[in-house]
């Protein structure tokens, strides 16, 4: 995935949030090497700011559409209807206005990739199957009923399967902010763990001092 954003802090935050969701990310401050990146890196999706030095986002969108099948999510402070229509009519797949919540941007990126068939919506960990698109969770062929928040949490853990994620990372990805009571994470993790472990062994593991990881024991 390629992030083109000239504000270093925003670009770094977006790139970090996408990496935490399991994506490989390259960040550029402008589009000077876009053609080379499209040929060498071959991104599945480009998060593209409009207000860039040199060629702006609309010009870069034309380059992407001429030479790549990558999805494009435009990211800009220009949130007026004319700019959105220009971006979407030019071939952008989605449009996110600043300021934005990182979790929403990640969700929109994931949705575009799913529409393009670039990422599977179903993840399996041991005998647990999580279908994010259908909102279905099964374990040992038994359906598991989760609340909307519990489902978002499990989908995130499934996307990060095998990786330890901190409470802060979970708060950002599932609730959209970091400065919130971390006990909220503990409560929801406990609820998810209880429900999925009614049908089998432990899959959600606590890593003391670090966070949680979803994995099947060997």
Regarding the domain delimited by 122-214, which CATH topology (the fold level of the hierarchy) does it fall under? Arc Repressor Mutant, subunit A (1.10.10)
**What's 163's DSSP letter?**
S
Answer yes or no: are the C-beta atoms of 59 and 50 closer than 8 Å: no
Q: How confident is the model at residue 179 (pLDDT cuts 50, 70, 90)?
A: low
Position 85 pLDDT exceeds 90: no
* Residue-level pLDDT at 120: 63
Q: Indicate if the alpha-carbon torsion angle 163, 13, 103, 35 is positive or negative.
A: negative
CA distances from 74 to 23, 44, 50, 51, 148 (A): 18, 14, 7, 10, 27
Match domain 2-116 to its CATH number in 3.40.640.10, 3.30.450.150, 3.40.50.2300, 3.90.550.10: 3.40.50.2300
Q: How confident is the model at residue 124 (pLDDT cuts 50, 70, 90)?
A: confident
- Domain ranges for the chain, please list them: 2-116, 122-214
Which spans in the chain are helix H?
8-20, 34-40, 57-67, 81-89, 102-115, 148-159, 167-170, 183-196
Q: How confident is the model at residue 126 (pLDDT cuts 50, 70, 90)?
A: confident
- Per the prediction, the chain carries an average pLDDT of 88
């Amino acid at each position: 995935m390629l992030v083109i954003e000239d504000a270093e802090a925003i670009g770094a935050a977006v790139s970090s949030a996408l990496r935490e969701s399991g994506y490989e990310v390259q960040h550029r401050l402008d589009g000077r090497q876009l053609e080379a990146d499209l040929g060498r890196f071959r991104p599945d999706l480009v998060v593209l700011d409009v207000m860039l030095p040199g060629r702006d986002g609309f010009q870069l969108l034309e380059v992407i559409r001429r030479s790549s099948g990558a999805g494009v999510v435009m990211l800009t402070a220009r949130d007026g209807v004319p700019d959105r229509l220009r971006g979407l009519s030019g071939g952008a797949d989605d449009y996110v206005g600043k300021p934005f919540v990182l979790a929403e941007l990640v969700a929109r990126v994931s949705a575009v990739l799913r529409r393009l068939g670039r990422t599977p919506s179903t993840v399996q960990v041991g005998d647990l199957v999580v279908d994010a698109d259908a909102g279905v969770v099964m374990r040992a062929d038994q359906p598991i009923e989760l609340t909307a928040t519990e489902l978002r949490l499990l989908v995130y853990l499934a996307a990060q399967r095998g990786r330890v994620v901190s409470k802060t990372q979970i708060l950002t990805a599932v609730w959209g902010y970091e400065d919130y009571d971390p006990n909220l994470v503990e409560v929801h993790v406990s609820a998810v763990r209880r429900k999925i472990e009614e049908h089998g062994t432990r899959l959600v593991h606590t890593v003391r001092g670090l966070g949680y990881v979803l994995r099947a024991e060997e």
